[in-house]
């Protein structure tokens, strides 16, 4: 047993639900550290798995990768963690709410237009005419 508890990238991918190419991409841009290798093959231990899982969860909340970097740093005990973490989360929340508001507006308009097109009586398509103004 040279490195008993370690897994190859494929298994890390399965464990975390993260694409292999994405894992290598994260390594390239410094989100994940270059792991130990057995020959040419990357080998990940539990800390590697935990770190990637962290990244995935952060990404699921929509945090951009640059912010994920900050969150990783904070999670490793950098500075006034909770305070700063809350700050970036607030910014992210505001961003999410703004995007949702945009989508809401789109959904209303699209819903109306689909409806109007469904009840197709009048000459001309309501949808196409709305776009043509």
DSSP H stretches of helix in the chain: 9-16, 20-28, 46-60, 65-75, 81-118, 126-132
Q: Which stretch binds DNA (CB under 7 A): 64-72, 80-88, 99-107, 124-132?
A: 64-72
Instruction: Select from a second copy, DNA, none the partner in contact with residue 70, using the beta carbon and a kind-dependent cut-off of 5 to 8 Å.
Output: none
Helix-helix angle 65-75:46-60, to 10 degrees: 130
Q: Name which of residues 62 to 101 contact a second copy (CB under 8 A).
A: 62, 71, 74-75, 81-83, 85-86, 89-90, 92-93, 96-97, 99-100
Nearest C-alpha neighbor of 86 from the set 64, 100, 67 = 67
Farthest-apart Cα atoms in the chain, separation: 77
Residues that bind a second copy (CB under 8 A): 50, 53-54, 57-58, 60-62, 71, 74-75, 81-83, 85-86, 89-90, 92-93, 96-97, 99-100, 103-104, 106-107, 109-111, 113-114, 117-118, 120, 124-128, 130-133
């Amino acid at each position: 047993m040279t490195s008993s508890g370690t897994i190859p990238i494929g298994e890390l991918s399965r464990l975390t639900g993260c694409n292999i190419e994405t894992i290598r991409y994260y390594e390239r841009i410094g989100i994940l550290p270059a792991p130990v290798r057995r020959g040419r093959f990357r080998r990940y231990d539990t800390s590697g798995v935990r770190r990637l899982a962290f990244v995935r969860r952060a990404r699921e909340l929509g945090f951009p990768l640059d912010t994920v970097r900050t969150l990783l740093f904070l999670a490793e005990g950098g500075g006034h963690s909770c305070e700063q973490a809350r700050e970036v989360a607030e910014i992210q929340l505001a961003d999410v709410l703004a995007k949702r508001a945009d989508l809401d507006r789109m959904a209303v308009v699209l819903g109306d237009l689909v409806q109007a097109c469904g009840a197709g009586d009048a000459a001309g398509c309501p949808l196409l005419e709305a776009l043509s103004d």
